[in-house]
Amino acid sequence: MADCLFCKIIEGEIPSSKVYEDKDVYAFRDIEPQAPVHVLIVPKKHIESLDDCSEEDIELLGRVMTKVQEIAKLAGITNGYRLVSNCGEDGFQTVNHLHFHLLGGRPLLWPPG
């Protein structure tokens, strides 16, 4: 999508610190890390949020989820992690291209603030 930050990152128009890429997914380090390891896992298809997924995305999202363990290892996580997708206003989503925050490298508080 023309005016989407993450589409531009996926296309290489905006630089990123890539951790992993295949035909379905692009993963890169968050510019403002909230933990020692903070990677954004982004399906290449432009879907705005979890609220905008449909049945046709089932296979894609399954492939993205089954890649998480490999991306966590590549990012240097060795002792567990958290995967978060912020959605909508109360979820404080700021980039409207579906993505999953992979956080690790320290004990993570629960519940989040």
By annotation, the residues acting in catalysis are 99
Identify whether the C-beta of residue 63 lies closer than 8 Å to the C-beta of residue 44: no
Q: Using the rule CB under 6 A, is 30 a contact of ligand AMP?
A: yes
Q: Which of 16, 20, 102, 103 binds ligand AMP (CB under 6 A)?
A: 16
Binding span for ligand AMP by CB under 6 A among 51-59, 75-83, 86-94, 105-113: 86-94
Q: What residues contact residue 24 under an 8 Å CB cut-off, 6+ apart?
A: 43, 44, 45, 60, 63, 64, 67
Measured CA to CA, the distance from residue 41 to residue 113 in angstroms comes to 22
Chain mean position to CA 85: 7
Pairing of strands 25-29, 18-21: antiparallel
Q: Using the rule CB under 6 A, is 31 a contact of ligand AMP?
A: yes
Of 7 and 41, CB closest to Zn ion: 7
**Residue 13, binding choice from Zn ion, ligand AMP, none, Cβ under 5 to 8 Å by partner class:** none
Q: Which of 46, 63, 67, 82 binds Zn ion (CB under 5 A)?
A: 46
| Contacting residues toward ligand AMP, per CB under 6 A | 5, 14, 16, 30-32, 40, 86, 92-95
